Amino acid sequence: MPGMELLQISFSHTCLKVRRAIEIKGLACTLRNINPMDRAPVRSVSSQGLVPVLVDGEAVISDSTAILLHLEERYPAVPLLPADPAARAECLVLEDWADAAFLDVTRRLAYAETLRTPGAIEKLFLPEARGLARFIKGRAARRAVARRFRITPGSVARDDRVARRLAALAMQRLGGHPFLVGDRMTIADIALAALASPLEHAGADLRADAGVKALLHWGATVLKPDHA
């Protein structure tokens, strides 16, 4: 049977979410980094263009939550869902909340800061481009990122307020405990930590917010390789 392969963009927070689950479960997986500007390899495997995509034998799964649930069903030896039905349901609700609440907001804020940083977009999307080609393609990439993610001064101000509120809410839900549900790590913790992680690349004022700082500190412990 072919080995497990993850098609990913290395800096994607949804891909980080899947990588962390694979790591905790101790699974062997080949990482296949794709060019964010060329989704043809992803489409050829999964008939759609979004990452992550997991190829596990004959199974091809897209969407980070679907991948985590596949891993949990197929490789249950290191469980990331509680056995108790009520706790399991709570965990799944919180995982969905983390995805829905943080995914777009944190990505836009990180990209907004990246757009303000000279050379940062080129480093992410055009690492091989040089000279005039890098300059021309970089301008096009900045316009494409701003347009795709609808990044404007107004959206940044709104997202900043939302991120502060969500971070405070997440820390209140944790209430000083190391995990969201029960006494061990679950997919809810992985989702919240990974989906909040782009805030590390947001503006300095937002990163200095008490709730955001606390959330990022907690998330770093969840995402550490030795924390399983």
Each of the 228 residues of the chain gets a pLDDT tens digit; together they read 568 999 999 999 999 999 999 999 999 999 999 988 889 999 999 999 999 999 999 999 999 999 999 999 999 999 999 999 999 999 999 999 999 999 999 999 999 999 999 999 999 999 888 999 999 999 999 999 999 999 999 999 999 999 999 999 999 999 999 999 999 999 999 999 999 999 999 999 999 999 999 999 999 999 987 655
Tokens of 146: 């701003």
Helix/strand/coil (H/E/C) assignment for every residue in the chain: CCCEEEEECCCCHHHHHHHHHHHHCCCCEEEEECCCCCCHHHHHHHCCCCCCEEEECCEEEECHHHHHHHHHHHCCCCCCCCCCHHHHHHHHHHHHHHHHHHHHHHHHHHHHHHHHCCCHHHHHHCCCCCHHHHHHHHHHHHHHHHHHCCCCHHHHHHHHHHHHHHHHHHHHHHCCCCCCCCCCCCHHHHHHHHHHHHHHHCCHHHHCCHHHHHHHHHHHHHHCCCCC
Domains in the chain with CATH codes: 8-74 (3.40.30.10), 85-223 (1.20.1050.10)
